[in-house]
Structure 1
């Protein structure tokens, strides 16, 4: 079975192993935070990185991974409990696993090298994304020079303090979504997280909307793309791809 999975992964994701210097590059940012203050294990919600990665690669884009501190991005074990073919493909290839174990340091990157930035979610992001070094400098510059900024689920935690080069908040006056207060309550982590993402996005001047809990909901506002929850990860990436292709 593992051999079959590996073969399928090779067929679907083989572009990752190819050199394509002429391709545009998308930067996926993931968390370094693996344990909540109360001791609960957290980290990256794996599908919120792997599903967008596959979408971007199949559309012909290169993908790099970064995190606030660089190095390993811990995977929330809850995110691997349910069957997920794309996660299986990812986890059965050392090269793909290494992309999460050896992420680039966000603040050290040159925004001119990226056409889009995608902040993947997971509860860990609620602690290290809001004040991540380099987030405004990289994402703000990407946006100001015509690129795409995107985030899914708890990934929009990166947007709450994210500023453009002129000092204004990127999300002010823009339509956004993200993990809802209701969804947070249903997973039992309302008291564990440092703030409620829905409330924070609203308080900073964003026009927040949501769909049904745990169902697909994405929002596009100019060149800002956000997805509400894990079900929205792949579709949010597709929205980014559509914007990138239309900008050519």
Structure 2
């Protein structure tokens, strides 16, 4: 049975706004259902371990409510990347949420774990702000994973639209391009995902389930 590891941010403060953030729960819940329906196991890791902060939970989203009820124990005590073995996973999926912009880029052990999954023939996936985990992800030869590959993520236009361009510590789209990514995008907040050589990325929350579908296809 294939196994996917969802990588979650441990950062819970939205800059100096006084607002909370964390991992965007629907970006895990909806793809988790896709993976489970396809016969995959799911697991979790967070930057700091323990219980990662949550964002984006809406009472009317029954998929997310069911996901939280089924995974409450696992989400209350996630491991950190240093305690895991890349060989145990067929894919790693960097979930979004604005918190990722602060802790994913410098999460060295998490990047090394993802590189290990990829170099063993697995898939690296990410959605929305989750590609913040890719900006410093390098392979054994020193190259950036995103270099020369088709990539998507939360766009500069979308960051402007939610009013957080001056809050986040860097531009995700521009940074991925600077690392060599061939950036792809569509209209603000519309579903869009792309796969390229076992790297699967999606633009925004609406793209999370599509990223799971493409991840399954890439491994197949």
- TM-score by length of structure 2 reads 0.96
What does the per-residue CA deviation read over 1:132-185, in whole Å, with 9 as the maximum and x for residues that have no partner? 131232111111111100000000000000011222110011110000011101
Stretches of structure 1 that go unaligned for 5 or more consecutive residues are 1-22
Listed as ranges, the matches of 1:12-27 within 5 Å are 23-27=1-5
1:9 alignment counterpart: none
What does the per-residue CA deviation read over 1:15-45, in whole Å, with 9 as the maximum and x for residues that have no partner? xxxxxxxx12111101111112302211111
SS state at 2:131 partner: helix
SS state at 1:237 partner: helix
2:47 alignment counterpart: 68
What does the per-residue CA deviation read over 1:188-246, in whole Å, with 9 as the maximum and x for residues that have no partner? 111110001111111111000101100100011110000000000001001101122x2
2:29 alignment counterpart: 50
What does the per-residue CA deviation read over 1:101-139, in whole Å, with 9 as the maximum and x for residues that have no partner? 211111221001111000000000001100113123211
- Indicate yes or no: 2:183 matched with 1:204: no
Separation (CA, whole Å) in 2 of partners of 1:181 and 1:82: 29
Which is further off, 23-32 or 79-88? 79-88
Separation (CA, whole Å) in 2 of partners of 1:188 and 1:155: 19
Separation (CA, whole Å) in 2 of partners of 1:68 and 1:80: 20
What does the per-residue CA deviation read over 1:46-87, in whole Å, with 9 as the maximum and x for residues that have no partner? 1111111111111111111001111111111xx123621201
The structure having more radius of gyration, on CA atoms, is: 1
Question: Among residues 129, 140, 143, which one is paired with 1:165 in the alignment?
Answer: 140
1:14 alignment counterpart: none
Listed as ranges, the matches of 1:12-161 within 5 Å are 23-38=1-16, 39-76=18-55, 79-81=56-58, 83-91=60-68, 93=69, 95-161=70-136
2:169 alignment counterpart: 194
Stretches of structure 2 that go unaligned for 5 or more consecutive residues are none
2:208 alignment counterpart: 233
Q: Is the 8 A contact 1:136 1:164 kept in 2?
A: no
Q: Is the 8 A contact 1:152 1:236 kept in 2?
A: yes
- Indicate yes or no: 2:157 matched with 1:182: yes
Separation (CA, whole Å) in 2 of partners of 1:62 and 1:114: 9
CA-atom RMSD in angstroms: 1.2
- TM-score by length of structure 1 reads 0.85
- Indicate yes or no: 2:196 matched with 1:224: no
Separation (CA, whole Å) in 2 of partners of 1:83 and 1:216: 20
